[in-house]
Amino acid sequence: MSELIEALREELPADAVLTDPDVTRSYAHDMASFCEAGTPAAVVLPRTVDQVRHVMRTATALRVPVVPQGARTGLSGAANAGEGCVVLSLVRMDRILEIDPVNRTAVVEPGVVNAVLSRAVNEYGLSYPPDPSSWEECTIGGNIGTGSGGLCCVKYGVTAEYVLGLDVVLPDGRLMSTGRSTAKGVAGYDLTRLFVGAEGSLGIVVRAVLALKPVPPQQLALAAEFPSTDAACEAVCRIMESGHVPSLLELMDNTTLRAVNDLTKMGLPDTTEALLLAAFDTADPAADLAAVGALCAAAGASEVVPAEGHAESELLLQARRSALVALEAVTGTTMIDDVCVPRSKLADLLKGTAAIAEKHGLTIGVCAHAGDGNTHPTVCFDPTDEEESRHARESFDEIMALGLELGGTITGEHGVGILKKEWLARELGPVNVEMQRGIKQVFDPLGLLNPGKLF
Ligand SMILES: Cc1cc2nc3c(=O)[nH]c(=O)nc-3n(C[C@H](O)[C@H](O)[C@H](O)COP(=O)(O)OP(=O)(O)OC[C@H]3O[C@@H](n4cnc5c(N)ncnc54)[C@H](O)[C@@H]3O)c2cc1C
């Protein structure tokens, strides 16, 4: 047995240290399966903070890299193993430690699944708003690692806005608390926020204090069909400009609609060029939908169909949630862009993306959290075809370049990982990169935490 495995097992039960290569290989990568990944020396599944501290102390003593993992639903290779690393999977630390209705907070371990937390707090009349489409699988630790968003973020904001405090194990095994449990607090630098979106590169989140909201009224949705993506994006601008606050404002282009229909047989209108879904969870959602429906019609919608009730609204959401999986089914592999632009530039991004798809002869479907300007142009390709893979990568990059040109960012919610790391420096510029490297050096001087990601 290697020194590493022996040392890990000193304070971990046998079933918490996996070394069979057939098993460890299955932890090698997240959902960006085409990104490079190595075989871990071990996969460790701790249940306690002390066990995590032991793993980090051992890794530091033996200078072995550690890759933290949640549910591996990430889309940028940020949870991918490096050759010979320790994969530190937090999925067994899945307890909800406290739900506090007075303070409207929850205290959770990192392996709690997003939807499990949502349902649990619902019992108290509370909600945890960040709702990635992967919510039935992804973990709170992974959501914090990526700073994830979701469908209702247009009204309720993203993960960063709900993380009040953290317990974090540093690479040398020290345990640090950041932030607060209170509604307000400005003591010192905001290290809590620093960990949100850090992609496991600064420390291991072992406990999180999360803010909750009262459960809003059930939302009602409408679907608006448009003869062009331009018209749909114009409707998005009109809705936002008019002061409406939808609880959801999502767009699917024709390619995506066809893919969703192929997969789910839902019968979405797939001859239309773009479908906009808008929802309201206000006191009078029907009135808000009528006003937004009129704005859609004025922007050129050919059809505006309000859902008949909550069940039909939920069905429309399900259709949107299945978009990425549906596009993946087109060729088996996708490269998913995550470019976020100012809403006013959404139409330019979609038009540019269509031109890039045509130039490279590829299928690129776009679904978008349109109200946030956050688009997911999804490049469908066959990874066994070298030429097609090259075109896929080129088109993926060209979409990011276009996003930056339009004043946007290369990633609104999926993170940088391996997939976009060449692009991070382009977006940040040399001074910002230097400061970020300095921060990394302070937290992880030996560079053992999730190396090869971000920079
Ligand atoms: C079908 C589908 C739909 C999706 N829809 C959305 C969406 O709408 N919005 C969105 O934002 N994302 C979406 N995603 C992407 C993904 O689900 C999110 O990025 C999610 O937050 C990842 O959570 P995870 O538990 O799978 O984390 P992982 O993929 O395992 O890890 C993600 C990152 O967090 C780090 N990490 C994990 N746990 C810890 C920890 N305890 N401490 C420190 N670092 C940690 C990892 O090292 C890695 O860098 C989607 C993915 C799929 C497959």
Report the amino acid identity of residue 124. Answer: Y
Residue 407 token pair: 């004043």
> What is the position in ligand 1's atom list of the atom closest to the CA of 321?
3
pLDDT at 34 (0 to 100): 85
> What is the position in ligand 1's atom list of the atom closest to the CA of 110?
41
Residue 133, phi-psi category: left (phi > 0), alpha (psi -120 to 50), beta (remainder): alpha
Q: How far is the CA of 306 from the centre of ligand 1 (A)?
A: 32
Q: Number of C-alpha atoms within 13 angstroms, CB side, residue 453? A: 33
> What is the position in ligand 1's atom list of the atom closest to the CA of 204?
42
Q: Number of C-alpha atoms within 13 angstroms, CB side, residue 251? A: 32
- Measure CA of the first residue to CA of the last residue in the chain; give whole Å: 34
Q: Number of C-alpha atoms within 13 angstroms, CB side, residue 30? A: 30
pLDDT in tens, 141-164: 999 999 999 899 999 999 999 999
Enumerate residues lining ligand 1, CB below 6 A: 30-31, 68-75, 78-79, 90, 110, 132-134, 138-139, 141-143, 145-146, 148-150, 199-200, 204-205, 324-325, 413-414, 450
Instruction: Give the span between the Cα atoms of 321 and 301, in whole angstroms.
Output: 23
pLDDT band for position 1 (cuts 50, 70, 90): low
Residue 359 token pair: 């130039």
Q: How far is the CA of 149 from the centre of ligand 1 (A)?
A: 10
pLDDT in tens, 337-363: 999 999 999 999 999 999 999 999 999
Give the sheet arrangement for strand 96-100, strand by strand.
96-100, 105-108, 204-211, 163-169, 175-179
- Report yes or no: 268 and 261 within 8 Å, Cβ to Cβ: yes
Burial tier of 312 (Cβ tally within 10 Å: 0-12, 13-18, 19+): middle
Q: How far is the CA of 142 from the centre of ligand 1 (A)?
A: 4
Instruction: Give the span between the Cα atoms of 183 and 80, in whole angstroms.
Output: 36
Q: How far is the CA of 224 from the centre of ligand 1 (A)?
A: 30
- Report yes or no: 255 and 272 within 8 Å, Cβ to Cβ: no
Ranges of beta strands (E only) in 156-285 are 163-169, 175-179, 204-211, 213-214, 220-226, 248-253, 274-280
Instruction: Give the span between the Cα atoms of 36 and 85, in whole angstroms.
Output: 14
Pairing relationship of beta strands 374-381 and 333-336 according to DSSP bridges: antiparallel
pLDDT at 33 (0 to 100): 81
pLDDT at 74 (0 to 100): 97
Instruction: Give the span between the Cα atoms of 339 and 375, in whole angstroms.
Output: 5
Quickly tell me which residue has 């921060």 as its tokens: 439
Residue nearest atom 52 of ligand 1, based on CA coordinates:
134
> What is the position in ligand 1's atom list of the atom closest to the CA of 148?
11
- Report yes or no: 74 and 32 within 8 Å, Cβ to Cβ: yes
pLDDT in tens, 3-49: 999 999 999 999 999 999 999 999 999 999 889 999 999 999 999 99
Write the DSSP symbol of residue 375. E
pLDDT band for position 91 (cuts 50, 70, 90): very high
> What is the position in ligand 1's atom list of the atom closest to the CA of 199?
49
Can you spell out the DSSP letters for 172-192? TS-EEEEE-SSS----SS-HH
Q: How far is the CA of 84 from the centre of ligand 1 (A)?
A: 22
Instruction: Give the span between the Cα atoms of 366 and 378, in whole angstroms.
Output: 6
Q: How far is the CA of 148 from the centre of ligand 1 (A)?
A: 7
pLDDT in tens, 250-263: 999 999 999 999 99
Residue nearest atom 8 of ligand 1, based on CA coordinates:
132
Ranges of beta strands (E only) in 35-112 are 42-44, 66-69, 86-89, 96-100, 105-108
Report the amino acid identity of residue 72. Answer: R
Of 27, 73, 163, the residue with max ligand 1 atoms within 8 A of its CB, to mutate for a pocket test, comes to: 73
Q: How far is the CA of 28 from the centre of ligand 1 (A)?
A: 15
Write the DSSP symbol of residue 340. B
Q: Please tell me the pTM assigned to this model.
A: 0.96
> What is the position in ligand 1's atom list of the atom closest to the CA of 140?
25
Backbone angles phi, psi at 299, to 5 degrees: -85, -5
Of 112, 133, 205, 372, the residue with max ligand 1 atoms within 8 A of its CB, to mutate for a pocket test, comes to: 133
Of 33, 48, 75, the residue with max ligand 1 atoms within 8 A of its CB, to mutate for a pocket test, comes to: 75
> What is the position in ligand 1's atom list of the atom closest to the CA of 168?
42
- Report yes or no: 455 and 440 within 8 Å, Cβ to Cβ: yes
Residue 145 token pair: 């690692």
pLDDT at 5 (0 to 100): 97
pLDDT at 88 (0 to 100): 98
pLDDT at 89 (0 to 100): 98
pLDDT in tens, 160-197: 999 999 999 999 999 999 999 999 999 999 999 999 99
Q: How far is the CA of 31 from the centre of ligand 1 (A)?
A: 9
Q: How far is the CA of 141 from the centre of ligand 1 (A)?
A: 8
Q: How far is the CA of 111 from the centre of ligand 1 (A)?
A: 11
pLDDT in tens, 278-335: 999 999 999 999 999 999 999 999 999 999 999 999 999 999 999 999 999 999 899 9
